[in-house]
Amino acid sequence: MSTAEVVLELADVVFRRQGKEILHGVSCTVRAGEHWALLGPNGAGKSTILGFCGALTHPTTGTVRVLGAQLGRVELQALRREIGHVDPRHPLRSPLTVRDVVLTGLTGSVDTPPRWRPTAAQTAKADDLIALLGLAGQTAERWPTLSQGERGRALIARALIGEPRLLLLDEPSTGLDVAAREQLLETVDLLTHSHPGLASVLVTHHLEELPETTTHALLVAGGSVVTAGPIDQALTTGSVSRAFGHPIRVTQHDGRWSARAARRGAEEVA
């Protein structure tokens, strides 16, 4: 069993909204350096679980600990500064440059705050991250002119500039074509080497969108855990078929995963 520091722990978490139970006793432990995939069909509870990971939502019952702090007993704003969040639906409306977008990761804002100016060291750090993530030469490009793939990589740089211990990626491949998706996944894979202690949770519906460096998976359906653990054990034909309520054949090739419909009653779905 790994002795790495526990970064995120959900213990028997139940969540109710307007009297309806959304999550039913969800448990999961994420350690430093682990990269988790959070998978499940629409309405499975993935967004709610991600809200706990980002210290945005409190459980109705059960315990959530993020970076060693128990939700309900910690100042949330300070905790959130140690969590990087990548959301392709980033609601920026101003024509900021790539550098300015990355620097907003330090202020925790969508736009540049009035009268805030980065230090020379902060600007240099932003430029280093921009280059690391494959956007060298585009530092001064404006947000509206960027492709979806370039925006995705800029948002990863934005999430990393505050040196988070936990990185959350909320369906980062949304809206990307195949080439842009592959570039983004290569960027995520790079983080294993550039930020070796970083833990991450990536939400997706699609096995094809999992980076090669994914180490663990949490499958949920109907607000309950179907399976959780090392990815080779968690992502099986049987578990994915149960999670999505349909016979799905799961395969892995060269570190990447894929899924396609299987014939009902096929032996491998049992």
Q: DSSP code of 97?
A: B
- Residue 2: per-residue pLDDT: 64
pTM here? 0.91
Calpha distance 54→56 (Å, rounded): 5
- Residue 1: per-residue pLDDT: 56
Q: What is the largest CA-CA distance in the chain?
A: 64
Helix H or strand E segment including 150: helix 148-160
* 218 close to 28: Cβ distance less than 8 angstroms: yes
Give the pLDDT confidence of 231-246 residue by residue, as tens digits: 999 999 999 999 999 9
SS3 43: coil
- Residue 270: per-residue pLDDT: 43
For the chain, strand residue ranges (E) read 6-17, 20-31, 35-39, 61-66, 69-70, 83-86, 166-170, 199-204, 216-221, 224-230, 248-253, 256-261
pLDDT category at 268 given cuts 50, 70, 90 is very low
Domain ranges of the chain: 6-82+164-269, 95-163
Architecture of domain 6-82+164-269: 3-Layer(aba) Sandwich (3.40)
Q: What angle do CA 112, 71, 61 make, to 5 degrees?
A: 135
Average pLDDT over the chain reads 91
Q: DSSP code of 112?
A: P
| H helical segments located in 162-256 | 178-194, 231-234, 237-244
Tell me the torsion sign for CA atoms 173, 178, 179, 182: positive
pLDDT category at 260 given cuts 50, 70, 90 is very high
Calpha distance 269→263 (Å, rounded): 8
